Every structure is written in structure tokens, then in C-alpha cells.
Amino acid sequence: MNRPVAAIVLAAGKGTRMKSDLHKVLHPIAGRSMLLHLVDSIAALDPARTVVVTGAGREQVEAAVAPLGIATALQAEQLGTGHAVAQAEAALAGFDGDVLILYGDVPLVSTTTMRAMLDRLAAPDAPAIVVLGFRPSDAGVYGRIIAHDGVIEKMVEYKDATDAERAVDLCNSGLMAVRSEDLFALLARVGNDNAAGEYYLPDIVMLAAADGRRSAVIKTSAGEVAGVNSRAELAAVEADWQVQRRVRAMAEGATLIAPETVWFAHDTQIGRDVVIEPNVFFGPGVTIADGVVIHAFSHIEGARIGAKAEVGPFARLRPGAVMGEASKIGNFVEMKKAVLGAGAKASHLTYLGDAEVGEGANIGAGTITCNYDGFFKYKTVIGAGAFIGSNSALVAPVTIGAGATVGAGSVITADVDPDALALARARQEARPGWGKRFRDVMAAKKAKP
Ligand code: UD1
Ligand code: CA
């Protein structure tokens, strides 16, 4: 039986180096905020409680987590990581179990690693605290972990460390697992007599040691505990996430011709035997069924793409775009809140907005659904098997019946009956000999001095 789990997520830091009006932890990775990435990985542990410690910009963070029923605790003044964790005590009152301490700006820690920390805490030697360590290529100013065989001798902040301690390359990610009954009792004993004048969370390891209790370190990759303090670090974490996602897409049966040029969102769903050509961007909310081909330079968000459909090159699918089986959206076609029936095609230069296109319909090059009058949006309905001639404007609200044909260049303002032909353009006139007469008159004019 696993003990109950609670998570404390530190997010009181100002994030000054982001130079942003948006709170640091709300900046997105793959179209979802760092904080929600973390909350999602925590949720997989089925935690009894999650508490986010807020400070500067707390309203934004509170608004982001309130819909998820996640509690927040305010750290009015930033007096250090130990002080920050202590602020969660009231929110965890009555909770008896294991506590994970995480950072809102370290978003990619996996559920597997969280579980490994909890498992280590539950191991027979019963460490007081489990610290997540890592060996970065440049240890910089990270806190150091002095350990032997996974048992911690000392935790020391860079500012307080000796040269010999600074030479140690095992670093503190800041993430820990501690039993609730130990955590707040130890925190109450943490002082701020150190180089930074802060209440250091890692000091709880030293206080437990003073009680004769050992703590353990487990290691993970530097990439997993990469923190975000600047836009450049945000981009680095995004890049890392994308690399992993591309590998997964390929492992699950998608062909990515140039994987490094394809950008997924956190929730992109991809079937098997999907081919994605170079330079394709996915925003949130995209589902791609089996056998779909997405040609180069397409931008896709909030769209559902049916089996064996074809998209692009240079297509734009906006929220509410739904493509039926074996349907086709070609180059320079935009879809928004539009449903394309099975086998229907819009191959070139078209806008389908607030539209419903029946099965097998053919939308000619340059067709535009005129869905907006500057105030309201209106719907266009195109029946199954209809044929819309090139360069037609369909002025919504309007319905084109099944099997109807619209002549090229029409401006359709009234409904068209099924199987009818609609022509809405000026009739062509022919004037025999006009070209020659025109040239003769002009030539004569030019010859006059
Ligand atoms: C901390 C660790 C250090 C570790 C490093 C990893 C301490 C004393 N040091 O460094 O050993 O190598 O993380 O990045 O714990 N925060 C608050 N309130 C505060 C202070 C911090 O919520 O008063 C939050 C920040 O928003 C951030 C996290 O805690 O998410 C870490 O803060 P930061 O200042 O980056 O870490 P350090 O304390 O310098
Ligand atoms: Ca940091």
C-alpha cells in the first residue's frame, strides 16, 4: 500500500529575468503553462492534496489553478525556499503521508521520477529525506550534495561552500520527498544564519542528520530538472520537450521526414502511418487519425483530421476545423469552425469559415465563404457532392443543395436547390472585330502631330 501523497509547488519567485507581465510559471511549453505541465505529472500520482506557494503575481497563479481545485498558500515575503515550503503547512493541516516538494519553474520532472523519490523514501533503510540530485555539465552556483553511496553527508549552498565543496559536481535540483510528520517539525528549526540570510530548505537534511537520521540522494538527468529563469532557458526547455515528443511520435508509427522542424503541442494526438513533412506547427487540440499526410509548412490548431486525409502544403487549420475521412485541404486553404465531409476537397486558395461541407463536395480554387458582416458570423452549408466553381463567394447565411453546381466566379447570396446550377455573374458579351477597330483608332490618334 502506498502512503497518501501531497505535493508542494514553489512558485513565489518573481521571475524578474523573464522581463514579463505574465508570471514565470504561466509561460507555456508546447502550448501549456509550465505550472500545468507539472500539475499534470503530479496528478498521475493521484495526490491527496496539491498546494502551490505563491508570492509576486499571485492573482495570475491563483486564477490558473483555481479551476483545478488546487490550493494556494501565500508567501508574502521571499525569505528562502525553506520559508516558502513552511507557508504550505496550514494547507496541509491534517494530511498524513509523503510530501513532494517541487518547483513551478522546473516543469518537466516526470511522474516516474516523482514515484522513484517516493519509493526511495519508503525503502527499508527509511531515509528521513530523499533529495533529487543531478550532474550538470556546468555545476555553476547550484547547491552541492556531498554524498557517499547515495547517503548524504552534507548539503551546502554555493555561497556557503568551501573550494573543495564547490569542486563536487553532484548538485541539488531542489526537489525533495519528506514525510509530513517530519517536514514541518524540521522546517520550524531552520534558521537564516548563512551567506544569503535566507531560510534554506536543504538545511532540513542537516537538521535530520543532527538527530542521527540519514537522508538519501537519487539522481536524474540534468535535462529533467532544467529550470527556467529566462526566455532563453524557456526556449531550451521547449526544445528539449520537442525532441522527446518527436521521438515518441516516431516510436508510435509516424514518419517525420525532418523531425527537428516539426513542433507539437502538449496534447497532439497522432495515429499510425501518419506522414508529417518538414516545417509543420501544431497548436493545442489537434487529433490526427491513421494514414494522414500533412505536407510541408502547415499550421494546425484545434483541428480533427480524419483517416487518410491530406493537408497542405501551406494549409492553415484553425480551431473547429474537422476533416472527414480521405478529405483534402490543399495549398493556401484556411479552415475555421468548418466541417469537411468524407472525400470532400478544397485543393487551392480557399477560406472555409463557419461552414459545413458535405461528403464528396468539390470546392474550387479561390472559393470564399463570406461568414462575417462586421458584426455577426453566419453559416454556409454545402450539400454532399456539390461542385463550387472557382473564385466563388458564398455570402452566408446560405445553403447550397446536395449535388448542385455553382458556376465559377459567382457571388451566391441566395440558397441553391439540390442538383441545380446557380450562376451569379454578369453574362459574357462578344463584340466581333472590336480589337482591330480599337487598334486602328489608337494608331491614327498617335500618328497625328
Ligand atoms: C535552490 C537551492 C539550491 C539548488 C537550486 C536548484 C536552496 C536554499 N537552494 O537555489 O541548492 O541547487 O535551488 O535550482 O533551496 N522560491 C520561493 N520562495 C522563496 C525562494 C524561492 O517560492 O523565498 C521558489 C522559486 O520561485 C523557485 C524555487 O523556489 O521556483 C527555487 O528558488 P531559487 O531562488 O531559484 O533557488 P535558490 O534558492 O537559489
Ligand atoms: Ca531558479
Residue 133 CB–ligand 1 contact under 6 Å = no
Distance 226 CA to ligand 2 centre (A): 9
**Closest Cα to atom 1, ligand 1: which residue?**
174
Cα-based distances in Å from 360 to 100, 115, 308, 327, 449: 55, 51, 14, 8, 64
Is pTM beyond 0.85 here?
Answer: yes
Among the bound ligands, name the one nearest to the CA of residue 228: 2
The pLDDT assigned to 449 comes to 75
Cell of 216: 538519501
pLDDT at 30: 98
Buried b (16+ CB within 10 A) or exposed e, 324-363: bbbbbbbbbbbbbbbbbbbbbbbbbbbbbbbbbbbbbbbb
Catalytic, out of 23, 27, 299, 348: 348
CA 12 to ligand 1 centroid distance, Å: 10
**Nearest ligand, CA 142:** 1
Asked if 145 contacts 115 with a C-beta cutoff of 8 angstroms, the reply is: no
Q: What is the tens place of the pLDDT at every residue in 325-384? A: 999 999 999 999 999 999 999 999 999 999 999 999 999 999 999 999 999 999 999 999
348 is catalytic: yes
Q: Which residues of the chain have pLDDT under 50?
A: none
Cα of 51 to ligand 1 centre, how many Å?
17
To test the pocket of ligand 1, the residue of 10, 37, 74, 81 to mutate (highest count of ligand atoms within 8 Å of its CB) is 81
- The pLDDT of residue 1 is 59
C-alpha 315/C-alpha 440 separation (Å) is 49
Q: In angstroms, what is the span from residue 448 Cα to ligand 1's centroid? A: 90
Task: Name the residue with cell 573550494.
Answer: 163
Q: Is the CB of 107 under 6 A from ligand 1?
A: no
Starting from the CA of residue 78, give the closest ligand. 1
